[in-house]
Amino acid sequence: MKLKCVNLLSFLLLLSVVRSDALPAQAGESTYDKLWQLAELYASETNPVVQGLDLSGRFQHEHARVWEDDRTYDEWNVRRARLGVNLDFFREFTLHIEAGFNPQETDPFYLGLTGAFLQWSPTSRAAVKVGKQGVPFTMDGSTSSKELLTIDRSNLANNMWFPQEYLPGVSFSGEASNWVYRVGAYSAGERNREFGRLNAGVVTLAVLGYDAAEELGVASALLRGTYVHQNPDLNNTFTRQLRHVASVNFEVEDGWWGLRSDITTARGYLGQSDLWGATIMPFLNVVAGLQFVGRYTYLSSEGANGVRLPRYENKLVDGRGDRYDELYLGVNYYFYGHKLKLQGGVNFANMEDRANDGGGYSGVAATTGLRVSW
């Protein structure tokens, strides 16, 4: 009953917002603008102490169905439900606190902090961040779930990015001419609903990127390299069991077309085999609001049982394999940019299992979802 209520609420939310274009709006300001301005609780350019207080969050609801031989799996799922606040103060500081919730259940309803950090931005081109925050590497791991072009991250990110999306730590990021950079040090440990037990090692991150839009004559183009290092630690459940991860990403977009790509390799430990994989994702902006997306992903492990299946496919086949490839075909409709969109995709995937111990898979998964963020 609770699940049906959540599904109904999602549909009503979408219907109410889609139909909101029938409401009158001032020239130059859409009804969507007015609705999202409700999240702006306070704003002042003249107050020397507090400049802004906003609500933050996202609601992502989806349906998935998987077919593999004569077996199927079907699920309605609130993928993410988060609510928080952003406080801007003393002109250079931002405090962000956000938590995740599960409206489908009452135990637990509160899932934990998904972000809790203080950011100092002494200039518009540099920032220091302290607290629980994202660790951006791989193409999809560097993209907020609010802004993914596919309905979920690729299986490359699923295997080499961290299952704990947010880690406590400190990072410094900035821009210099056409270069962008980030360095960070984060604590690993055992997961809990807040900052975790900080009883494991340290994860270090280094990112260097170059904005090549001017040289290529396109609207945007970024080439980025990332390196992640951590020491093996049995207490660590924040991250995958990967000692070294190196990733090279390239993103380009110009008007009606765009392309994103990712090549990543990782050195495993504690039984996790070494991995390498690649993803290429072209997309077409057909008409206003309508976008077609394709993605091909290849993933391979040096030893047996080194590769996991994605979230929903894993519900049918919980074993592991050693070679995975997929073709994803999707369509997105943007009502209000990434803040309100419908996404759908079909994923044709195959995983080989040379150990022949239950990890083989060859099937199709179809997922559709509503994405709302503020």
- Domains of the chain plus CATH, in order, are 2-373 (2.40.160.10)
Beta bridge partners of 187: 202
Residue 216: partners with Cβ closer than 8 Å, 6 or more residues away: 252
Residue 197 has pLDDT above 90, yes or no: no
pLDDT in tens, 119-150: 999 999 999 999 999 999 999 999 999 999 99
- Whether residue 20 contacts residue 337, with contact meaning beta carbons closer than 8 Å, is answered with no
> Which amino acid does the sequence have at 210?
Y
| CA gap 372, 190 in Å, rounded | 31
- Kindly indicate the confidence band of residue 90, based on its pLDDT and cuts at 50, 70 and 90: very high
Phi, psi torsion values for 357, nearest 5 degrees? -125, 35
> Which amino acid does the sequence have at 212?
A
Residue 71: partners with Cβ closer than 8 Å, 6 or more residues away: 316
| CA gap 156, 309 in Å, rounded | 10
DSSP string of 42-108, one letter each residue: EE-SS-SSEEEEEEEEEEEEEEEEEEETTEEEEEEEEEEEEEEEEEEETTTEEEEEEEEE-TT-STT
Q: What is the dihedral of CA 355, 356, 361, 362, to 10 degrees?
A: 110
Tokens of 87: 């406080």
For residues 297-302, average pLDDT: 98
For residues 254-269, average pLDDT: 97
For residues 266-280, average pLDDT: 96
| Total-model pTM | 0.89
Regarding predicted confidence, which is higher, 333 or 189? 333
Residue 189 has pLDDT above 60, yes or no: yes
> Which amino acid does the sequence have at 281?
M
| CA gap 99, 82 in Å, rounded | 5
Beta bridge partners of 341: 334, 371
For residues 59-67, average pLDDT: 97
Beta bridge partners of 208: 181, 225
Percent of the chain with pLDDT over 90: 83
Q: What is the dihedral of CA 165, 115, 338, 251, to 10 degrees?
A: -50
Residue 310 has pLDDT above 60, yes or no: yes
